[in-house]
Structure 1
Amino acid sequence: MDPVLIINIAIAILVIIIALSGIKQIQQGQAAVIERLGKYHKTLEAGLSFIIPFFDRQKFVRNVNARPHELANNRIDLREQIMDIPEQEVISKDNIRMQVDTLVFFQIVEPYKAVYEISSPVKGIQQLSQTTIRNIFGEMDLDTSLSARESINDRLRSILDEATDKWGIKVLRVEIQDIIPPIELKEAMQKQMIAERERRAKVTLAEAEKQERILTAEGQRQKQILEAEGENQAVILKAEAERKKKILEAEGQSKSIQMVQEATAKGLDAVRVVLGKAEGIQGVVLIETLKAQQEIAKALASGENSKFFLPNDLAGLFGAIGGIKEVLDLSKDISAKQPKK
């Protein structure tokens, strides 16, 4: 084979290899910083990119990522990253020593600044977090520190985010995982908590008894009210019944009197007819007899007595009652015999 051809083939293969070495593939959520002749040139993002071999190179950035072993040495993680700040001792405002464990969530938003503005972003965030935590807890007493985690988290996030902004890093949130007071203080707090629970239990029990007494008294009051209302209603109903009874009795007496008066009126009419034909002492006897009957009828209608004692001289008047009947019958016969006009 011709040596020149072999050399040309070798050169062509070498050129292809060099050209292929300039093709870079970046995964989603990652980035790469390219330097040309030792100076920053550009930032490669997700997808295929091409660099000039021998002139361009990817910068090593192991200390930029929170977990560098998960990525290549020249890749920058653009996803949200978690940094576990080592547990540290802090002193509160009332001179209580505590152990604080913290998590920081951050994200690299400008790879150029994260690479060139600070030598080790991860170490910078860690040191800054520890210093800020000591300062914040030093301004608070123990009770405030234990009860104000949310405000501590917000304050930490705000301070760290402002400090790391020039590094191209955004602190998304900070979480205080645990605040551990000294053992003896922890035991005292445990006893205090137990005592507080017992106190609350007693208060709850007393409140329940109070409510029970209130409900019992209320039930008694309602019972008395209902009983009084029932008695009042019974009195009203009894009075109403008495009233109706009297009304009915009065109506009965009224009807009796009316019937007597009607009968008397009819009798008087008949007497007038008879008297028109009777003469002398017979007329007087009839009149006296009717007056006596009228008085007795009134007494009977009043219902006040069921027995009557009459003088002997009036007893003869009632003997004329049969005569009145005969007179009335005679009047009817005379009327019947008279010719109709």
Structure 2
Amino acid sequence: MITFPIFIVLGLFLLFASFFTVKQQTAVVVERFGKFNSIRQSGLQLKIPVFDRIAGRVNLRIQQLDVVIETKTKDNVFVKMKVSVQFKVIQEKVYDAFYKLEYPHDQITSYVFDVVRAEVPKLILDDVFVRKDDIAIAVKRELNEAMMTYGYDIINTLVTDIDPDTQVKHAMNRINAADREKTAAEYEAEAQRIRIVAKAKAEAESKRLQGQGIADQRREIARGLVESVNQLNEVGINSQEASALIVVTQHYDTLQAVGADANSNLILLPNSPQAASDMLNNMVVSFAASNQVGEAMKKAGASKKSNKSQQANEDFGIDDSTNA
């Protein structure tokens, strides 16, 4: 009576011990009496109690291992590099992954150290930043060749961080700052030059237009003076008297313009009632004297030319009376 319940309990235990489940993206290695028996995939699985046992579970999902390496560049700068390796167990090679390699993370780390310390010393620090993808490709190629034998597939390798020595980073920052300041100074100098050139061109154009305006003004004044003199000549006033009259008229116009400004401090000298009359007389006398001097100079020039011609005839033996 007592043994019957024991057999029932034992039977239920053996029944439940015969079944086990395997999670998705996981493989289970089953051994029988310590020897490899089979590999079970996800789902409900059956094994022989006591004889079979689960030796281990293998993760088939993609895993990531971050490896930090300190090495030296070609220009003797020590850098710390972080290399992220993404890998997974090949489903068809679960046996190799479980039995051939006991510590896969250590194996992958060793290969990463070996490749990085072989590649980085060939490059200067600046090239390490530029060619980090080449380093990652070299690591992946070396790992694939080595880890494929053990049933591992290297999905990707990434150089996620490059950290030079602190003093080197400060020096690089100073170099970059100095270079940017130099560039900024060059741009500021170029902008200043452009402003100076533009200002000079504007001033030159202003002077040109100002000169053109003054020339046009004087041309119109001269044309007006000519017309005024011609009109005065028509009524019997000669050119000298007409010019003097125009000057006196301008003198009075100037006095009127000065008097119209209540705040003007300008004083014209001489400024007396008979100043205009004296100015007119002086100008007429000056014009007459100027005409006399001009006529005398013309006569002197003609006489001198005649003397030169007579001297030339005498030098060549020509008699003026004979020619006459």
Bin of the TM-score, shorter chain as denominator length: 0.5 to 0.7
2:76 pairs with 89, 95, 108, which one? 95
Task: Tell me the TM-score normalized by structure 2.
Answer: 0.55
Could you tell me which runs of 5 or more consecutive residues in structure 2 were left unpaired when the two chains were aligned. 203-324
Kindly indicate whether residue 181 of structure 2 is the aligned counterpart of residue 198 of structure 1. yes
Residues 208 and 166 of structure 1, relative CA distance in 2, 3 Å threshold: farther
Task: Give the structure 1 partner of residue 103 of structure 2.
Answer: 120
Kindly indicate whether residue 165 of structure 2 is the aligned counterpart of residue 185 of structure 1. no
Residues 204 and 33 of structure 1, relative CA distance in 2, 3 Å threshold: farther
How many residues are matched?
200
Residues 45 and 204 of structure 1, relative CA distance in 2, 3 Å threshold: farther
Report SS of the residue matched to 2:123: coil
2:60 pairs with 78, 84, 99, which one? 78
Deviations 1:115-150 (Å, cap 9, x if unpaired)?
111121121112221222211212222221122112
Give the C-alpha shift of residue 208 in structure 1: 6.6
1:132 pairs with 96, 104, 115, which one? 115
Give the C-alpha shift of residue 8 in structure 1: 3.1
Q: Equivalent pairs: percent with the same residue?
A: 27
Paired AA for residue 112 in structure 2: S
Residues 206 and 27 of structure 1, relative CA distance in 2, 3 Å threshold: farther
How well do the aligned residues superpose, as a CA RMSD in angstroms? 2.7
Moved over 6 A (4+): 206-214
Alignment of 1:1-341 (within 5 A): 3=1, 6-59=2-55, 74-85=56-67, 87-109=68-90, 110-204=93-187
Task: Give the structure 1 partner of residue 315 of structure 2.
Answer: none
Deviations 1:259-314 (Å, cap 9, x if unpaired)?
xxxxxxxxxxxxxxxxxxxxxxxxxxxxxxxxxxxxxxxxxxxxxxxxxxxxxxxx
Report SS of the residue matched to 1:138: helix
Q: Distance in 1 between matches of 2:13 and 2:58?
A: 26
CA contact (8 A) 2:115 2:138 kept: no
Residues 14 and 89 of structure 1, relative CA distance in 2, 3 Å threshold: same
Q: Distance in 2 between matches of 1:161 and 1:195?
A: 44
Paired AA for residue 78 in structure 1: L
Q: Distance in 1 between matches of 2:117 and 2:78?
A: 11
Report SS of the residue matched to 1:28: coil
Residues 212 and 30 of structure 1, relative CA distance in 2, 3 Å threshold: farther
Q: Distance in 2 between matches of 1:20 and 1:33?
A: 19
Q: Distance in 2 between matches of 1:29 and 1:206?
A: 66
Paired AA for residue 19 in structure 2: I
Task: Tell me the TM-score normalized by structure 1.
Answer: 0.53
Paired AA for residue 103 in structure 1: S
Give the C-alpha shift of residue 88 in structure 1: 2.7
